């Protein structure tokens, strides 16, 4: 059976949309590198998971949507995404959209995530 990076990305996003950080933990390589305006530049599984927990605690109504997901290589996929949520500390409504590129390791674990916001 061959690895389908687009299907793996859809699965990863489903767990994120459910705010299932424990489920996401099973998909991250120990040396994962995550770069995003929403989370920052974070390295390592535990640090990425902590950033996600903090983000979801601040924006508990976060909802994300993929408008398109496609494989870009044998171990990479890209999504055109959009999200909305409310920052419970400030009350500000947040809407963002952009491109996310995810690279997987040989075991199918998320190795690198780069989230680019688009205007």
**pLDDT attached to residue 35:** 96
**pLDDT attached to residue 37:** 82
Domains in the chain: how many in total? 1
**pLDDT attached to residue 39:** 77
DSSP string, 39-102: TEEEESHHHHHHHHHHHHHH-TT-EEEEEEEEEEETTEEEEEEEEEEE-TTT--EEEEEEEEEE
CA distance 90 to 67: 28
Residue 72 structural domain: 5-117
What CATH number does the domain containing 13 carry?
A: 3.10.450.50
CA distance 102 to 1: 20
CA distance 96 to 38: 10
Q: What is the pLDDT along the chain (119 residues), one digit of tens a residue?
A: 699 999 999 999 999 999 999 999 999 999 999 999 877 899 999 999 999 999 999 999 999 999 999 999 999 999 999 999 999 999 999 899 999 999 999 999 999 999 999 96
CA distance 105 to 49: 18
**pLDDT attached to residue 22:** 96
CA distance 87 to 7: 30
**pLDDT attached to residue 40:** 85
Is the model's pTM score more than 0.85?
Answer: yes
């Amino acid at each position: 059976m061959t690895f389908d990076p687009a299907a793996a990305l859809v699965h990863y996003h489903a767990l994120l949309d459910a705010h299932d950080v424990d489920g996401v933990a099973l998909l991250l390589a120990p040396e994962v590198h995550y770069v995003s305006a929403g989370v920052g530049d974070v390295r390592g599984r535990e640090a990425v998971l902590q950033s996600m927990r903090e983000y979801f605690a601040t924006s508990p109504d976060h909802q994300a949507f993929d408008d398109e997901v496609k494989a870009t290589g044998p171990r990479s996929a890209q999504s055109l995404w959009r999200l909305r949520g409310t920052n419970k500390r400030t009350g500000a409504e947040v809407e963002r959209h952009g491109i996310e590129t995810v690279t997987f390791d040989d075991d199918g674990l998320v190795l690198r995530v780069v989230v680019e916001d688009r205007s």
